[in-house]
Amino acid sequence: MDDVEQERLRSEIATLRLLLEVNEATALEQSRRAERALQTMQREITEREQQAKLIREIIAASTDSVVVLDSEWRVTFLNEQAKQELSSGEELVGQVLMEALPSVMDTNFMGYYRHAMKNRVTLLFEEFHAPRGKWYGVNVSPVGDGIGIFFHDATERRRRDAAIQKTEKLAAVGRLASSISHEINNPLESVVNLLYLIESSPGVDGETKMYAELATREMARVSHIVTQTLKFHRQSTHAAECKMSEVLESVVSLFQGRMATRKVRVKRRYEEHDELMCFAGDMRQVFANLIGNALDAIMGEGTIWLRTRRSRDWKTGRRGLRVCVADNGGGMSEETRKSLFEPFFTTKPATGTGLGLWVSEEIIRNHEGWVRVRSSERMGCSGTVFSVFFPVTD
Ligand code: ADP
Ligand code: MG
């Protein structure tokens, strides 16, 4: 090998070494870049996973039930609420709606779902689901290429709304009754006076006089009814001293008609001095409710006992007045006794509002008093005693 050849080879080796070094550097750089890209990707994946977890948690925490259907009406997701509400344990995910929830197929719900699925719109509605006997509030929205159904049981809320409407109606009727009886009172008094004039005028024969007397008595009854309804709804703004026995009697006269047709007797035992500083209208409301409830509890014939008695609060030793309303009706279950004073609790689906005792307890508390209940459902000696205590300040 000559010198020239040697020199050429050496320079070639040097070049190759140089190339190798450059290559190495590039490879290193490329691998570093790849590593960085991988890290970014991993970070993104973690973030996505966290987001997905967050969304799952939000949906799980929602008080609404959530069901997601794909475009083929196949259930792809249910949250815990929906599982509890809809499934009896079997897995619904993967089933088509027809198999998963057959009871919804022939209902109005399907109309909304089809509309939302086809037109990709959100719909809000409330519907009664007859097979379950429940009202549902539903939001159906496009989710992915299918729909998401978000729903909750609206039965209780609707019942409450209805009860409030009913009490408002009753209050309106009360106001109307009050103004009507007010209007009737004046001409009524004139008629009573005129009848008196007829009765006592000297030229009148015996028969006419008897008719006039009968008419006067009937008018007295009308007058009594009118003043009772008028009194019933008049709200005074000042507490005043009133006899509890009189309050009870004015309430009893309101129920007289119902008591007579139902053959319910009233037995009284009143303290001579049963005066109390109170809002008479409020008291009438309390005892109208207690007596009304007693009357409702009596099937067929029965007795209502009314009692006023001076006594002491055994807990505090405070002097006061105790008023008892008792009946020998059907009594109530332990279940009922526990919920008695809750608003909207009623066992009378057709006629009850469930507000009577709730309001009554509030009124009694405003008078610094308390109310206690004893009740029995035992055959032959069933009945209920409501005992109300009001402190009397000297
Ligand atoms: P409402 O009379 O509208 O049902 P209330 O608050 O007055 O509402 O009473 C609540 C419930 O308490 C009644 O539905 C009934 O079940 C029960 N209750 C109240 N008083 C009596 C009673 N004297 N005897 C039996 N149950 C009673
Ligand atoms: Mg009641």
Return the CATH number at 102: 3.30.450.20
Q: Which atom of ligand 1 is nearest to the CA of 355?
A: 6
Which of 197, 215, 234 is a domain's end point?
Answer: 234
One domain for residues 119 and 81: yes
List the 146-153 sheet strands across, edge first: 75-78, 65-69, 146-153, 134-143, 123-129
Strand partners, 174: none
Q: Nearest ligand, CA of residue 340?
A: 1
One domain for residues 37 and 67: no
One domain for residues 148 and 171: no
One domain for residues 290 and 340: yes
CATH number of the domain that 186 lies in? Answer: 1.10.287
One domain for residues 12 and 130: no
Number of H helices, E strands in the chain: 10, 12
Task: Quote the number of domains for the chain.
Answer: 4
One domain for residues 50 and 36: yes
One domain for residues 149 and 80: yes
Between CA 39 and CA 127 the distance in angstroms is 51
Minimum CA distance residue for ligand 1 atom 17: 340
Would you give per-residue pLDDT tens digits along the chain (394 residues)?
788 999 999 999 999 999 999 999 999 999 999 999 999 999 999 999 999 999 888 888 888 999 999 999 999 999 989 998 887 788 899 999 999 889 898 899 999 999 999 999 999 999 999 988 999 999 999 999 999 999 999 999 998 888 778 777 766 766 677 677 778 878 888 898 899 999 889 888 999 999 999 998 888 878 777 765 565 555 556 788 999 999 999 889 888 888 988 899 999 999 999 999 988 878 888 998 899 999 999 998 999 999 999 999 888 889 999 999 999 999 999 999 999 998 788 998 877 778 788 878 888 988 899 999 999 999 989 999 999 999 997 6
Q: Residue 235: what pLDDT?
A: 56
Which of 127, 153, 179 is a domain's end point?
Answer: 153
One domain for residues 380 and 259: yes
State pTM to two decimals: 0.51
Minimum CA distance residue for ligand 1 atom 13: 346
Between CA 224 and CA 254 the distance in angstroms is 10
CB 149 within 8 A of CB 104: no
User: Taking CB atoms and a 6 Å cutoff, what residues make up the pocket around ligand 1?
Assistant: 289, 293-294, 297, 327, 329, 331-332, 336, 340, 345-348, 352-354, 356-358, 384
Which of 200, 234, 268 is a domain's end point?
Answer: 234
One domain for residues 228 and 348: no
CATH number of the domain that 257 lies in? Answer: 3.30.565.10
Residue 190 tokens read as 């004139």
One domain for residues 145 and 167: no
One domain for residues 290 and 258: yes
Q: How far is CA 61 from CA 54, 79, 82, 381, in A?
A: 10, 9, 12, 50
Strands 370-376 and 383-391, sheet pairing: antiparallel
Strand partners, 129: 134
Q: Which atom of ligand 1 is nearest to the CA of 357?
A: 6
Q: Residue 273: what pLDDT?
A: 92
Distance 117 CA to ligand 2 centre (A): 48
Between CA 172 and CA 168 the distance in angstroms is 6
Between CA 178 and CA 148 the distance in angstroms is 53
By C-alpha distance, which of 371, 283, 376 is closest to 329?
A: 376
DSSP labels for 298-313?
A: --SSEEEEEEEEEEE-
CB atoms within 10 A of CB 371: 19
By C-alpha distance, which of 236, 217, 224 is closest to 185?
A: 224
Residue-range definition of the domain harbouring residue 119: 62-153
One domain for residues 159 and 85: no
